[in-house]
Amino acid sequence: MTSGRPLPAHASVVVVGGGVMGCSTLYHLAKLGVSDAILVERNQLTSGTTWHSAAQVRALRSTRSMTELARYSISLYPELEQETGQATGWINKGSLSIATTPDRLVHIERQVVLAKMFGLTASSISPADAKDIWPHMNAGDVIGAAWSPDDGRVSPSDLCAALIKGAKSRGAKVFEETGVIGILTEGGRIAGLETTRGTIRTDAIALCTGLWSRDAAAMAGVDVPVWPCEHFYLLTKPIEGLNGNVPTLSDHDSHLYIRDDSGGLLVGSFEPMGKAIAPETLGEDFAFQLLPEDWDHFEPMMINALHRLPALETAEVKTLLNGPESFTPDGTFLLGEATETRGLFLGCGMNSVGGGAGMALAHNIVHGHMPMDLGEADPARFPGCWNDADALAERVPEVLGRHYEITYPSRQWTTARDLRPLPLNAVWRSERAHFGQVHGWERPLYFGKTSEPTLGFGKPDWFGAVADEAVQAHTGAALFDQSTLGKIDVTGPDAERFLDRLCTGDLRRPPGSAWFTLMLNPRGGIEHDMTVMRLDDESYRLSVGTGAVKRAIAWLNRHQAENERVEIADATAGYATLALAGAKAPQAAEMAGATDILDLKYFRHRETEITCVANRAIDLYATLAGAGARPAGLFAQTAMRIEKRFLAYGHDIDSDTDPLTAGLAFALTWDTDFVGRDVLEQIRDTGPAKSVVTVLFDDTDAWPLGNEPVYRDGRIVGQTTSAAFGHRIGKPIALAVVERAAAETAVEIDIAGSRHSARTQPGAAFDPAGSRMRKLMEAGG
Ligand SMILES: Cc1cc2nc3c(=O)[nH]c(=O)nc-3n(C[C@H](O)[C@H](O)[C@H](O)COP(=O)(O)OP(=O)(O)OC[C@H]3O[C@@H](n4cnc5c(N)ncnc54)[C@H](O)[C@@H]3O)c2cc1C
């Protein structure tokens, strides 16, 4: 392309990597008016993973934002073709998902419901109708299906050509055969990059280096936990009777996707355990290359394929294509600015939605924020332990396999566990905890496990254990391990002024105070919710969510003015925190000798033995257990928080939710000036359009999981965001975001295609002391 031309000395943004992610980011940067953006690619455009992608495009994703990105991609492809005159190979033939097991049927029913809630076209169809759509399949064992007409596929190389054409027409430039060999930073910010063809100064880099991203980001001192896996698809020579393009057939019980390709069949797999591959074995010159065929590994998939596709028996195999593709530890890509280095924007770990993700990354670079909340792709969600090569190589084969697994509630990962044991890990094991991995930590979900829990969509077999823990936490004394909550110390002469500027509450409170507050973005959305403790005149401790600590520290660092004398430090690992709850908690605390906390009022703190240095945790636990306290896990805690309408960040609220919609007005102090205040004033004057409410189910056998549509008078008016069985109220319960008019009314919730009657209410379902506490919180003490 422009490999012979000299590189510019400076560019506003440099995109590194010429796969679909880099091409899309460049196009959208140019479209947003960055006319001097350049792309550097060490080999040729599309030569990494992109050229051999099967390039199916599915509109439905697990969340609304991800679906928006996929939907954007689908609208972009034909538009791009019109704009540039370059074909993208967009073929909109739809996709057919079949179910051969009852649980898969529930899964696809849930998907149809989700699709409708997100405004997509999707329908449940009979096995006979499925056979009509895909006559070449053996439908003998099919028990149901879902039809998604919006889906399709592109030609990845043509798509990139169109994106580049569109970008160049707006001034962008592309330099192939130009490898990045160093990233320059100054004062924690991107300053430029060194390439095989010279140095370029720049303020922003979009790192779109595919499976090589971990090494590429390391050049800037940034952790990017992505690792490649081998990905297989079989190609056959033309098959008689297979005429024209057909929809994609998703046979996920067989771990397969199937479609036509040049008159033959393309049969790809996400087998239960993939094969990891070390990026260094591929080398820097791995361009337009593939990995060796592995028929032994593919054999079980081949058997499945032969069952589904009788025509395959006699088909001539062209190749078993094996290409590397990168995955993150949770399967979702990384999108956004790195927490460690300002100006380094990551578009890494992609295995889908390239077009839309490039739009979002360009938006982030130009406007300083994502076009919508994309917390699930936030690079800050991974703690440092995930950048470990061994952990990644162990996890990503399971991630590849999960891609087509049934999304059972509360299913846990089986690989790369025990990365971050809690100080009380040995104690929790002796209490037979069932653990879940949260931000790398091993957290007890419930206790008294006798066997691995059965996966399913109905009443779980741990129901009784969790019910007992909830009762213990209500009427007795229960201990919840809260050590994973992020603890951030903000200290220095300007700490009060600094935090007061960012937080919605009044920070000028005496040492010993503790209170709930928020940090908002300039659009009035909640970026962080936290409990603040004032330790002394110059020091505060912020307690944030388990997964929020890296993001919160980055937020604080980014908002610190140069002349502000403030130190920000992560104190999480230094402390074990036990939450002692229940009617008998005071006696247990007293028996444990922590008498000085008994006269503490609500939302006050005092240094005592209850949050202790990590190496004293076992002694503390033994003392409290001796005083009658019993351990309780995250499932009981979640059920109780939903009853109390305590909102969880990333579930019930996110950076698109303002505090008035969330019912968190008590955390706002209108007489101080804080980030986001102007927008909130407007919302206060007009009233928020939506509300976060409690949903109480009439049917005690309903099993809501969250992410279900809320219907009122036959129309979708919102969606559930968290759900559980409320053991203190004896009913299933959920939190939901609904239109304001539906905040207190009869509704129906669609769970996997069945409607369940329920009632919404603005307040908590179970909160006997709530009004008194709320008043105390409002009064700050
Ligand atoms: C067999 C297979 C089937 C697939 N099927 C689908 C599908 O059906 N649907 C779907 O959505 N996705 C599919 N994918 C995934 C999809 O192909 C990828 O998500 C996508 O191609 C990744 O694009 P990328 O731009 O992130 O990475 P890449 O295409 O790998 O691009 C990264 C580029 O960065 C360059 N680079 C790396 N380091 C440097 C450096 N230091 N300096 C300069 N350049 C550098 C590389 O040379 C490379 O060209 C499939 C993948 C495989 C392997």
**250 CB within 6 A, ligand 1:** no
Name which residue sits closest to atom 11 of ligand 1, judged by CA: 352
**17 CB within 6 A, ligand 1:** yes
Indicate whether 672 pLDDT > 60. yes
* φ and ψ at residue 207, rounded to 5 degrees: -90, 105
The secondary structure of 352-400, three-state, reads: CCHHHHHHHHHHHHHHCCCCCCCHHHCHHHCCHHHHCHHHHHHHHHHHH
Tell me what the pLDDT averaged over the chain comes to.
94
Which one, of 264, 316, 315, 324, lies nearest residue 294 by Cα? 324
Q: How far is the CA of 13 from the centre of ligand 1 (A)?
A: 20
CA dist 52 → 235, 269, 356, 724 (Å): 12, 14, 20, 43
**207 CB within 6 A, ligand 1:** no
**556 CB within 6 A, ligand 1:** no
Give the burial string for 356-384 (b: 16+ CB within 10 Å, else e).
Answer: bbbbbbbbbbbeebbbebbbbbbbbbbbe
Indicate whether 781 pLDDT > 50. no
* Low-confidence winner among 2-11, 112-121, 443-452, 614-623 (lowest mean pLDDT): 614-623
Name which residue sits closest to atom 2 of ligand 1, judged by CA: 53
CA-based radius of gyration for the chain: 27
The preferred substitution site among 49, 286, 321, 326 for testing ligand 1, maximizing ligand atoms within 8 Å of CB, is: 49
pLDDT of residue 587: 87
Q: How far is the CA of 20 from the centre of ligand 1 (A)?
A: 7
Return the ligand 1 atom nearest residue 216 CA. Answer: 41
167, 27 Cβ separation under 8 angstroms: yes
Structure token pair of residue 264: 């033959």
Structure letter (DSSP) for residue 669: -
Q: How far is the CA of 254 from the centre of ligand 1 (A)?
A: 25
Name 710's bridge partners. Answer: 718, 749
The region, left, alpha or beta by phi > 0 then psi within -120 to 50, assigned to residue 177 is left
Digit-coded pLDDT (tens) for 273-315: 999 999 989 988 899 999 999 999 999 999 999 999 999 999 9
User: How would you class 82 by CB atoms within 10 Å of its CB: exposed for 0-12, middle for 13-18, buried for 19 or more?
Assistant: exposed
Q: How far is the CA of 49 from the centre of ligand 1 (A)?
A: 3
The preferred substitution site among 45, 181, 207, 212 for testing ligand 1, maximizing ligand atoms within 8 Å of CB, is: 212
pTM (2 decimals)? 0.95
Q: How far is the CA of 502 from the centre of ligand 1 (A)?
A: 39
Q: Which residues contact 356 (CB under 8 A, 6 or more apart)?
A: 68, 69, 70, 71, 72, 73, 76
Return the ligand 1 atom nearest residue 324 CA. Answer: 53
* Low-confidence winner among 226-230, 374-378, 472-476, 765-769 (lowest mean pLDDT): 765-769
Q: How far is the CA of 249 from the centre of ligand 1 (A)?
A: 23
* Low-confidence winner among 167-176, 268-277, 368-377, 602-611 (lowest mean pLDDT): 602-611
Confidence of residue 780 (pLDDT cuts 50, 70, 90): very low
Tell me, what amino acid is at 781? G
Digit-coded pLDDT (tens) for 685-741: 999 999 999 999 999 999 999 999 999 999 999 999 999 999 999 999 999 999 999
118, 60 Cβ separation under 8 angstroms: yes
How far apart (Å, rounded) are the C-alpha atoms in residues 667 and 675? 14
**704 CB within 6 A, ligand 1:** no
Name which residue sits closest to atom 48 of ligand 1, judged by CA: 48
Name which residue sits closest to atom 21 of ligand 1, judged by CA: 50
511, 539 Cβ separation under 8 angstroms: no
Average pLDDT over residues 55-69: 91
* φ and ψ at residue 492, rounded to 5 degrees: 130, 165
Structure token pair of residue 335: 């999108």
Q: How far is the CA of 728 from the centre of ligand 1 (A)?
A: 50
Tell me, what amino acid is at 91? I
Structure letter (DSSP) for residue 672: S
How far apart (Å, rounded) are the C-alpha atoms in residues 4 and 520? 48
Q: Which residues contact 118 (CB under 8 A, 6 or more apart)?
A: 60, 64, 67, 68, 71
**40 CB within 6 A, ligand 1:** yes
* Low-confidence winner among 58-62, 513-517, 767-771 (lowest mean pLDDT): 767-771
**54 CB within 6 A, ligand 1:** yes
How far apart (Å, rounded) are the C-alpha atoms in residues 718 and 56? 30
Name which residue sits closest to atom 33 of ligand 1, judged by CA: 17
297, 271 Cβ separation under 8 angstroms: yes
Q: How far is the CA of 24 from the centre of ligand 1 (A)?
A: 12
**55 CB within 6 A, ligand 1:** yes
- Parallel, antiparallel or unpaired: strands 198-201 and 204-207: unpaired
Indicate whether 7 pLDDT > 80. yes
How far apart (Å, rounded) are the C-alpha atoms in residues 58 and 250? 11
pLDDT of residue 2: 56
* φ and ψ at residue 313, rounded to 5 degrees: -50, -45
Average pLDDT over residues 321-344: 97
Name which residue sits closest to atom 51 of ligand 1, judged by CA: 53
How far apart (Å, rounded) are the C-alpha atoms in residues 639 and 734? 9
Three-state DSSP state, 640: helix
**233 CB within 6 A, ligand 1:** yes
Q: How far is the CA of 19 from the centre of ligand 1 (A)?
A: 5
How far apart (Å, rounded) are the C-alpha atoms in residues 298 and 293? 9
Structure token pair of residue 41: 């690619």
* φ and ψ at residue 472, rounded to 5 degrees: -60, -40
- Residue 633 sits at the vertex; the CA angle it makes with 548 and 614, to the nearest 5 degrees, is 65
- Parallel, antiparallel or unpaired: strands 95-99 and 248-251: parallel
Tell me, what amino acid is at 776? L
Residue 5 CB neighbour total at 10 angstroms: 10
Structure token pair of residue 90: 């967009």
CA dist 443 → 144, 460, 521, 574, 683 (Å): 37, 19, 30, 17, 38
Digit-coded pLDDT (tens) for 398-423: 999 999 999 999 999 999 999 999 99
**352 CB within 6 A, ligand 1:** yes
